[in-house]
Amino acid sequence: MKKCPNCGALMENGVNFCTKCGSDLRSITLEKEPEQATTVTKKTAPVVAEVNQQHVNSGSYLQNYWEWLVESWKCPATSNLAAQSWYGWVTILIEDVLFVTGLYFFAKSVITSAIGLVNHFGGDTRG
């Protein structure tokens, strides 16, 4: 296994670039397989849950959401902030509302322009 020097993710031996952050792994030497991966996972899981709970309680829901959103825009693959289950759904809903609003104004401008052209060229046929 290779360990990324940038984000610390473990990659397979044949991988040339980190799948989380994109760092070049071609010059990285192979590491030995972790002997007790199950015990490490069991020990770190409560710590991660505790950090997530502290982050949720540290401020308002919107502030936490905003921090998560900005962090995920800056670096989508390596966001380390805790995320609530509703963050993704709210983001998709906001994007959909913005997209539909943009389509509405685009269609309105196209129709208004078309009506103006018809009135300008075809409205008055007297010569």
Query: pLDDT (tens digit, 9 = 90+) per residue, 3-37?
Result: 888 888 887 777 888 878 888 888 776 655 555 54
Give dist(CA 93, CA 97) in Å, integer. 6
- pLDDT for 110 equals 95
Q: What is the pTM of this model?
A: 0.43
- Least confidently predicted of 11-15, 48-52, 71-75, 91-95: 48-52
Angle at 12 (CA atoms; ends 6, 15), nearest 5 degrees: 70
First to last CA, the chain: 83
Grouping H, G, I as helix, E, B as strand and the rest as coil, residue 87 is helix
